[in-house]
Chains A and B, each alone.
Chain A
Amino acid sequence: MSGAILSISRLSAVSDRDQAPILHEVALTVERGETRGLVGESGAGKSTIGKAILGILPRAVRVTSGEVLFQGEDLLKMPAERRRRLVGEQIALIPQDPMTALNPGRRIEGQLTDGLRLWRGLDARGARKIALKLLDEVHIRDPERVLRSFPHQLSGGMRQRVLIAAAFALDPKLIVADEPTTALDVTVQKQILRLIRNLQSAHGTSVIFVTHDLGVVAQICDSVTLLFSGRVVEEGRTGDLLQRPQHPYTRALLDACPRYDRPDVGLKPIPEDLIARLRSEAAA
């Protein structure tokens, strides 16, 4: 429970086309066993950071400086082969859209057991046994049937459960969860958040939780990094950041959230001069 599993420092990236800055000197650490929220509105760079960790940055994005240390090794500098091994085996992704993340032409069984057969050298029967256990862990009631199913035969919530099972299959050290509940209904979202939290604490996994929703952050993240225009605006323990926000942007973002518990507050648009000031700082 001590020491950082992931440590990003001075990470900068530009768009290859027009050299426009995408990330600027981003620093971020994820401690062992913690969930770190990576929060921002669209264009803040939160997904870019997730992609940089997984090594799936689009070609149009060029990293200009910085390091991404995973257990002390720089993911940006290691040989591609080593990196593929780490990202397959020790770093996993829970993607945003359960509709497109699964191959529509393959049954769940194959998709769920690929990693187990490749990295654990299991045969079909052994992998299947583990897959059934994983589906049970994500509270899928009829795992046999789900293994035989094609993705379109499952609901959105079921597909997301399958993807969570796949992410935990190899018992990774770090999971990047990229807006995993954005496409789901609120009641399903709550079940999925609970599931990720429970599995994470049972397995001792560290999680980077990418989201735009400060409500979700409050409920699931131990610590938060808030981004605006590719820069870290504020970071800290979740409780501190929500109760005593230091940066005016953090306060403004909290004031913009609708609050059913306090109808008198909330829904305040972020002041335009604040946005303009942050933009000009980012461009400088």
Chain B
Amino acid sequence: MSEELLLARDIEVAFGGKRRWLGRSSQPVRALHGVTISVRRSETVGIVGESGSGKTTLGRALLRLVDVASGSIAFAGQDITRLSEGRMRPLRRRMQLIFQDPMASLNPRHVIRRIIVEPMLFHGVAKNHADAESKARAIFTRFSLPHMCLDRYPHELSGGQRQRIGIARVALLAPDFVLADEIVSGLDVSTQALALNLLKDLSRDLGLAMAFISHDLSVIRAICDRVYVLRSGRVVEEGACADIFAGPKHEYTRALIDAIPLPRIDPDWLRRTTAADVAA
């Protein structure tokens, strides 16, 4: 439980600032100002923040999908901060990403079978087509996805089914680390509950390390062990979910928690303001 599978130290990410045609250069925009974050094996870590906080950039940096300007990233004890794409490739199977919008991340021209089977063959987790097919069928049963979905195109499925297929595709590759970026934000609460429970079971069964990015602290509370609260590219607070929800130290965290409307009668909620709320 204590081993850090992924450790990012003081990472900074900046966009722009490249020399353009005719030599004009623009000031880079810093999206992350020295963020340190770790994810242990079998641990689900939440990254929460509002729009523009840098949470998606942080996720992409952890997977080396954007380059960091400074700081270091280590995965399973290996420094991957500056690894070339070729040397990253063997690690790619072990570090997977579940996307926010399954409609945008599943190829609309491919049937689900191909979407599910191809990565297994590419990464060599299935011996052959028949093996991949039987693995796919097994996980569909487990995710209560009808097997006939394999012959469907993404647009023929419901949003909840597409999201479960996105999770199944990643689970079949048996990764060590999964990044889930706002994966339930567009879903109804009933489908959201289903997807989150699957993810929870999966991380327990596979001993997954997971980073779960969300703007919704309620969801984070439900599935994460620890949480990092991000604001304007900086971590303002981190700690065990239970502690942070019981006693948030930073006023921004307090404002974020208090801003969540709960389905219970709370006559003062609308009137109640926090310091950060007033400042906003």
A interface list, Cβ under 8 A from B: 41-42, 156, 185-191, 193-194, 197, 212-220, 238-239, 242-243, 252-254, 256-261, 263, 266-270, 272, 275
Interface flags, B242-258, vs A, CB<8A=1, else 0: 10010000000001111
A198 to chain B: closest residue by CB:
B270
Interface of chain B residues 41 through 92 with chain A (CB within 8 A): 50-51
Specify which chain B residues have a CB less than 8 angstroms from the CB of A215 in the assembled complex: 260-263
How many residue pairs bridge A and B at CB < 8 Å? 120
Q: Beyond A42-B188, A187-B255, list 14 extra A-B contacts (CB 8 Å).
A: A186-B215, A186-B217, A186-B259, A189-B259, A194-B271, A212-B189, A214-B189, A214-B263, A216-B261, A239-B265, A253-B189, A256-B192, A258-B218, A260-B245
Q: A41-B189, A42-B188, A260-B221 are in contact. Are A185 and B262 (CB under 8 A)?
A: no
Q: Are A263 and B221 interface neighbours, CB within 8 A?
A: yes
Tell me the dominant secondary structure on chain A's binding face: helix
Q: Are A269 and B197 interface neighbours, CB within 8 A?
A: yes
Q: Are A185 and B50 interface neighbours, CB within 8 A?
A: yes
Counting CB contacts under 8 A, is B266 at the interface? yes
Q: A186-B216, A186-B260, A187-B50 are in contact. Are A220 and B270 (CB under 8 A)?
A: yes
Q: Are B270 and A218 interface neighbours, CB within 8 A?
A: no
B interface list, Cβ under 8 A from A: 50-51, 144, 159, 188-190, 192-194, 196-197, 215-219, 221-222, 242, 245, 255-266, 269-271, 276-277, 280
A215 to chain B: closest residue by CB:
B261
Q: A242-B263, A253-B189, A259-B262 are in contact. Are A267 and B280 (CB under 8 A)?
A: no
Q: How far is the CB of A61 from chain B (nearest CB, A)?
A: 21
Q: Are A257 and B263 interface neighbours, CB within 8 A?
A: yes
Q: How far is the CB of B204 from chain A (nearest CB, A)?
A: 15
Specify which chain A residues have a CB less than 8 angstroms from the CB of B257 in the assembled complex: 260
Bound complex: CA A41 to CA B159 (Å): 12
| 8 pairs, CB–CB < 8 Å, chain A vs chain B | A190-B258, A215-B261, A216-B261, A254-B263, A257-B189, A266-B222, A267-B193, A269-B193
Q: How far is the CB of A36 from chain B (nearest CB, A)?
A: 16
Q: How far is the CB of B252 from chain A (nearest CB, A)?
A: 9
Bound complex: CA A121 to CA B204 (Å): 66
A218 to chain B: closest residue by CB:
B263
A187 to chain B: closest residue by CB:
B259
Q: A190-B259, A258-B219 are in contact. Are A242 and B265 (CB under 8 A)?
A: yes
Specify which chain B residues have a CB less than 8 angstroms from the CB of A259 in the assembled complex: 218, 222, 262-263
Bound complex: CA A218 to CA B267 (Å): 9
Q: Are A267 and B265 interface neighbours, CB within 8 A?
A: no
Q: Are A218 and B261 interface neighbours, CB within 8 A?
A: yes
Bound complex: CA A219 to CA B271 (Å): 10
Bound complex: CA A42 to CA B265 (Å): 24
Query: Which one, A41, A189, A263, contacts B188 given CB within 8 A?
Result: A41
Q: Are B51 and A185 interface neighbours, CB within 8 A?
A: yes
Specify which chain A residues have a CB less than 8 angstroms from the CB of B265 in the assembled complex: 218, 238-239, 242-243
A270 to chain B: closest residue by CB:
B190
Q: A186-B260, A258-B221 are in contact. Are A267 and B197 (CB under 8 A)?
A: yes
Q: Are B193 and A268 interface neighbours, CB within 8 A?
A: yes
Bound complex: CA A209 to CA B108 (Å): 35
Specify which chain A residues have a CB less than 8 angstroms from the CB of B218 in the assembled complex: 257-260
Of residues B193, B266, B271, which shows the largest number of chain A Cβ atoms within 10 Å of its Cβ? B193
- 6 shortest A-B CB distances, which residue pairs? A215-B261, A41-B188, A258-B218, A214-B263, A185-B50, A260-B221
Q: How far is the CB of A259 from chain B (nearest CB, A)?
A: 7
Q: Are A256 and B215 interface neighbours, CB within 8 A?
A: no
Bound complex: CA A261 to CA B242 (Å): 10
Q: How far is the CB of A47 from chain B (nearest CB, A)?
A: 14
Q: Are A187 and B188 interface neighbours, CB within 8 A?
A: no
Q: Are A242 and B50 interface neighbours, CB within 8 A?
A: no
Q: How far is the CB of A247 from chain B (nearest CB, A)?
A: 15
Q: A186-B259, A187-B256, A242-B265 are in contact. Are A269 and B190 (CB under 8 A)?
A: yes
Specify which chain B residues have a CB less than 8 angstroms from the CB of A185 in the assembled complex: 50-51, 215
Specify which chain B residues have a CB less than 8 angstroms from the CB of A242 in the assembled complex: 263-265
Query: Which one, A187, A214, A268, A270, contacts B277 given CB within 8 A?
Result: A187
Bound complex: CA A252 to CA B216 (Å): 21
Specify which chain A residues have a CB less than 8 angstroms from the CB of B266 in the assembled complex: 218-219
Q: How far is the CB of A43 from chain B (nearest CB, A)?
A: 9
Q: Are A191 and B277 interface neighbours, CB within 8 A?
A: yes
Specify which chain B residues have a CB less than 8 angstroms from the CB of A41 in the assembled complex: 188-190
Bound complex: CA A42 to CA B190 (Å): 10
Query: Which one, B194, B264, B276, contacts A187 given CB within 8 A?
Result: B276
Q: How far is the CB of B29 from chain A (nearest CB, A)?
A: 17
B269 to chain A: closest residue by CB:
A219
Bound complex: CA A272 to CA B144 (Å): 11
Specify which chain A residues have a CB less than 8 angstroms from the CB of B264 in the assembled complex: 218, 242, 261
Bound complex: CA A137 to CA B265 (Å): 27
Specify which chain A residues have a CB less than 8 angstroms from the CB of B193 in the assembled complex: 256, 258, 266-270
A261 to chain B: closest residue by CB:
B262
Q: Are A186 and B221 interface neighbours, CB within 8 A?
A: no
